[in-house]
Amino acid sequence: MDLKTEVSELKGIGPKKARAFRDAGIVTLSDLMEFFPRRYEDRRTVTPISSARAGAECLVVAKVAAKRSPRGYYRKNSPLTLIVSDGTGSLEIVFFNGRFLSGLFDEKSEYAFFGKVSENHAMRQMIHPQFAKAGSADDVRGIVPIYPQIPGISQREIRRLQAELVPLYSELEEWIPEKTVREQRLASPEYAIKNTHFPEDGHRMLAGKFRLVFGELFTMETGLMYLRAGDETGGKGVSFSCEAGDRFAAGLPFELTKGQQAAWKSIREDLESDKRMNRLLQGDVGSGKTVIAEMAMLSAASCGLQSVMMAPTELLATQHFDSFTKDLSGWKKPDGRPVSIALLKSSLTAKEKRTVYGSLESGETDILLCTHAVLEEKVKFRDLGLVITDEQHRFGVRQRRILSEKGENVNILVMTATPIPRTLAVIVYGDLDVSQIREMPAGRKPVKTTLARSEDRDKVYDFVEGQLIKGRQAYIVAPLIEESEKIDASSAEEIFRLVSKRFPSYRVEMVHGAMRPQEKDAIMQRFASGETDILVSTVVIEVGINVPNASVMVIENTERFGLAQLHQLRGRVGRGTDESYCFLILDQESEVAVKRAEIMCRTTDGFEIAEEDLALRGPGELFGTRQHGLPQLMISDLSRHRDILEKAAASAKELLADDPGLKKPENLPLKERIRSMFGENISLDL
Ligand code: ADP
Ligand code: MG
């Protein structure tokens, strides 16, 4: 047995449990070891009932003095109330809908109860405490780790398995360079892991946790900084006049919004000064980022410099090419020649590609719209001054870097519609400047959003019917139950059957992740052309889909979606000038789910939503971190560990200043660690 052994080889782990672990991302014993507790319960001391104060979380050990549940016939939802006493006083234990638990408690037997004490009409209570027969295997004492839920696996089992791993702790090796370990006074990996799963006291637990969080963030920061090397701000950049961009804006059939004007002002200042621009432009889809990019690219062309904009799909690149060609026809450079625009994508023939390559190298092409096809080594520019990445979260850090290295000291603009909180932006993009476009062009109405419960579903569907009668279309989004595509599909199928039955005279189609791409495209196409009235889908509705006639979106099992995901889904409606609607159906209420839904109802501002998301979520779960090229974090919580993050970033910077290529022997374990952390997410040429 070693760290690479699979969990399925442990005693008591059959195929079903192994699958549950795999779904939670745990395959090897090393993964299991890095499956960290979510929180701890302090069950070291037994509190006498007489001193159990309301508001405190405590462990009491007491005998059942009386059991109460409504008499008579069996009622499924009736509560169970116990009066327990330990000689110093008595306490009421309440389980709502808990009648079925009644048989687990014998009067006169002793039980351990752990929970928060509350007060009700001068009677102290514990509502839904954890319990175990005193002295039984479930009656654990000490600082008890509570792990994230894995369906079908109990806390007790996870604790048992963690105990089996203890002999492997001595295999853990240090990967953080000695200097950093010393400076930050880091505990060893062995100490840290041990005191995370089996903390002896609060002090050791914190020292261990600091080490783990620091280690994770330091590894991430070193990886990201390594990848970003060379695109820091501050250096000298190519500068050029943006007067042509101003003239272009003046000729537009609309006024720039305030956000667009502010973004342009900053970009213009960057480009006209000899500072190298390194800027992130954020704004929801449709907020008008492309126009700003166009103004900058036209300015470069007018000053005899080349510029390039890379988009994630051929469709987007082609759309950009078509609209630029139309918008810029008739624009002449100072030498009297027209601005020349080219398109480069993988599907061009070899001959077409050669023509584009030639025109870029000779400097004949001023503006290039392209996909990642531009990253090929053969593509060379004569005089590149500006590099733009559209929807940049779809690209890796390395791809952005290859593009910017096509020129010397080129100005860099990255654009994204995926909101990212400022604190995260700094981590992912380094010291770049941020511009945000927070409002939509005039005339677009924010989507009216309503929170609904499952009991309201009929009313929601009646409303949907009202929209269909007006000739509009609807999206109904089914939940993603598990990562597994199959299960995902079956839950969508259930909703699909329900909806088909409810709307017999309308055309309903379903699309889900397990379908082949051609099949998906055909269904999307039918919805886009209006052949289909209702589209039931899982979250596969692509960012690119644009159906202005769709005016209502119903999201089922809203509690299963993260905020940023809800925001992106809702962005599918509200594309036209008419009012549109979004219903968030909550099937299971939890505090967080209700909070998220309320935030969605309150605002349509993606940045506000992203900030709230960061505040609501815990480690590793942050939606969008992966989209922005961040690795999955096992223990760190970017919203809570900002101070440790700063320390980790400073140490990483120092290390890379000393060894930019991570080539020194003492840094090899760190390099290996970075490689496994980023995995296939980002290809590292370390
Ligand atoms: P983004 O790239 O941010 O998704 P686009 O630049 O594609 O958005 O803009 C979406 C549409 O809105 C385009 O048709 C564009 O011409 C138009 N548009 C951009 N800015 C404005 C504005 N200030 N007023 C009205 N329409 C605008
Ligand atoms: Mg765009």
Residue-wise pLDDT for 315-355, tens only, equals: 789 889 999 999 999 899 988 999 999 999 998 999 999 99
Nearest atom in ligand 1 to the alpha carbon of residue 290 is 6
Mean pLDDT of the chain: 87
Task: Give the pLDDT of residue 23.
Answer: 83
Look at the block and give the residue holding tokens 């672990």.
21
Is 289 touching ligand 1 by the criterion CB < 6 Å? yes
Atom 18 of ligand 1, residue of closest alpha carbon: 288
Beta carbon of 290 within 6 Å of any ligand 1 atom: yes
* More reliable by pLDDT, 180 or 519: 180
Decide: 285 in ligand 1 pocket, CB within 6 A: yes
State the pTM of this model: 0.66
Per-residue pLDDT, 685: 46
| Residues with CB in 5 Å of ion ligand 2 | 290
Nearest CA to ligand 1 atom 19: 288
Instruction: Work out which ligand 1 atom sits closest to the CA atom of 257.
Output: 23
Q: What is the mean pLDDT of residues 415-435?
A: 77
User: What mean pLDDT comes out for the span 230-247?
Assistant: 79
Q: Taking Cα atoms as reference points, which of 600, 566, 401, 409 lies closest to residue 480?
A: 566
Q: Are 285 and 418 in contact (CB under 8 A)?
A: no
DSSP state of 546: -
Which is more confidently placed, 431 or 594? 594
**At residue 565, does pLDDT exceed 60?**
yes
Q: What is the C-alpha separation between 340 and 323, in angstroms, rounded?
A: 14
Nearest CA residue ID for atom 17, ligand 1: 288
Rounded to 5 degrees, what are φ and ψ at 486? -65, -45
- In single-letter form, the type of residue at position 357 comes to Y
Higher-scoring residue by pLDDT: 430, 275: 275
Phi then psi for 453, rounded to 5 degrees? Answer: -105, 170
Say how far residue 563 (Cα) sits from the centre of its chain: 9
Residue 662, Cα to own-chain centre: how many angstroms?
29
Q: What is the 3-state secondary structure (H, E, C) of 310-369?
A: ECCCHHHHHHHHHHHHHHCCCCECCCCCECCEEEECCCCCHHHHHHHHHHHHHCCCCEEE
The verdict on the CB of residue 305 being under 6 Å from ligand 1 is: no
Instruction: Indicate the pairing of strand 433-437 with strand 550-555.
Output: unpaired
Where is average pLDDT lowest: 33-42, 54-63, 279-288, 632-641? 632-641
Cα-to-centroid distance, 390 and ligand 2 (Å): 7
Q: What is the pLDDT of residue 482?
A: 47
pLDDT recorded at residue 224: 85
Task: Give percent of the chain with pLDDT exceeding 70.
Answer: 91
254 CB near ligand 1 (under 6 Å): yes
Q: Which pLDDT band holds residue 576 (cuts at 50, 70, 90)?
A: confident
Confidence at 75, pLDDT banded by 50, 70, 90: low
Ligand 2 centre distance from Cα of residue 144 (Å): 50
pLDDT above 80 (res 526): yes
From 254, 310, 315, 436, the mutation candidate for ligand 1 (largest count of ligand atoms within 8 A of CB) is: 254
Q: What's the confidence (pLDDT) of residue 344?
A: 97
Q: Which residues pair with 90 in a beta bridge?
A: 85
Q: How far is the CA of 289 from the centre of ligand 1 (A)?
A: 7
Residue 183 has pLDDT above 60, yes or no: yes
Q: Mean of the pLDDT values across residues 206-226?
A: 93
| Cα→Cα distances 336→193, 304, 339, 381, Å | 69, 12, 9, 22
How far away, in angstroms, is 250 Cα from ligand 2 center?
21
Q: What is the mean pLDDT of residues 159-186?
A: 95
Q: What pLDDT was estimated at residue 71?
A: 62
CA of 437, closest atom in ligand 1 = 3
DSSP 275: B
In whole angstroms, how far apart are CA 548 and each of 289, 444, 490, 579?
A: 19, 11, 29, 11
Task: Categorize the per-residue pLDDT at 683 as very low, low, confident or very high, splitting at 50, 70 and 90.
Answer: very low
d(CA 373, CA 377): 10
211: helix, strand or coil = helix
Asked if residue 416 has its Cβ within 6 Å of ligand 1, the reply is: no
Alpha-carbon span 586 to 558, nearest angstrom: 5
Identify the pLDDT of residue 234: 53
Q: What is the pLDDT of residue 483?
A: 44
Structure tokens at 425: 């932006």
User: Is the CB–ligand 1 distance for residue 286 below 6 Å?
Assistant: yes
Indicate whether residue 291 lines ligand 1 (CB < 6 A). Answer: yes
Rank 94-108, 178-192, 271-285 by mean pLDDT and report only the highest. Answer: 178-192
Note the pLDDT of residue 501: 95
Grade residue 686 by pLDDT with cuts at 50, 70 and 90. Answer: very low
Classified as helix, coil or strand, 202 is helix
The stretch 359-377 carries a mean pLDDT of: 95
Name the residue type at position 419.
P
Residue with CA nearest ligand 1 atom 10: 286
Least confident of 226-230, 232-236, 346-350, 592-596: 232-236
pLDDT of the residue at 494 = 84
pLDDT value of position 385? 95
Look at 108 and 685; give whichever has higher pLDDT. 108
Angle of CA points 47, 52, 56, to nearest 5°: 105
Cβ atoms of 45 and 56 within 8 Å: the answer is: no
d(CA 440, ligand 1 centre) in Å: 8
Q: How confident is the model at residue 108 (pLDDT cuts 50, 70, 90)?
A: confident
Ligand closest to CA 285: 1
Between the two ends of the chain, the Cα-to-Cα distance in Å is 30
Which residue's CA is the nearest one to ligand 1's atom 11? 286
Residue bearing tokens 């008595």 = 90
Atom of ligand 1 at shortest range from CA of 293: 6
Residue whose CA lies nearest to ligand 1 atom number 20: 288
Average pLDDT over residues 629-651: 83
Best probe residue, ligand 1, of 291, 292, 445 (max atoms within 8 Å of C-beta)? 291
d(CA 583, CA 281) in angstroms, rounded, equals 30
Residues 447/504, Cβ–Cβ less than 8 Å? no
- What CA–CA distance (Å, rounded) separates 457 from 438? 33
Q: Which residue has the tokens 């060609």?
A: 325
pLDDT surpasses 70 at 77:
no
**Stronger pLDDT, 395 or 371, i.e. the higher one:** 371
Q: Is the CB of 441 under 6 A from ligand 1?
A: yes
How many residues are recorded in the chain?
686
Q: What is the 3-state secondary structure (H, E, C) of 103-166?
A: HHCCCCCEEEEEEEEEEECCEEEEECCEEEECCCCCCCCEEEEECCCECCECHHHHHHHHHHHH
Pairwise pLDDT comparison (237 vs 482), residue with the higher score? 237
Note the pLDDT of residue 684. Answer: 47
Give the Cα separation of 26 and 17 in Å (integer).
Answer: 11
Kindly report, residue by residue over 596-610, the tens digit of the pLDDT. Answer: 899 999 988 887 887
* Closest listed ligand to the CA of 391: 2
Higher pLDDT pick, 453 / 561 = 453
What pLDDT sits at residue 622? 44
What is the whole-number distance in angstroms between the Cα of residue 292 and the centre of ligand 1? 9
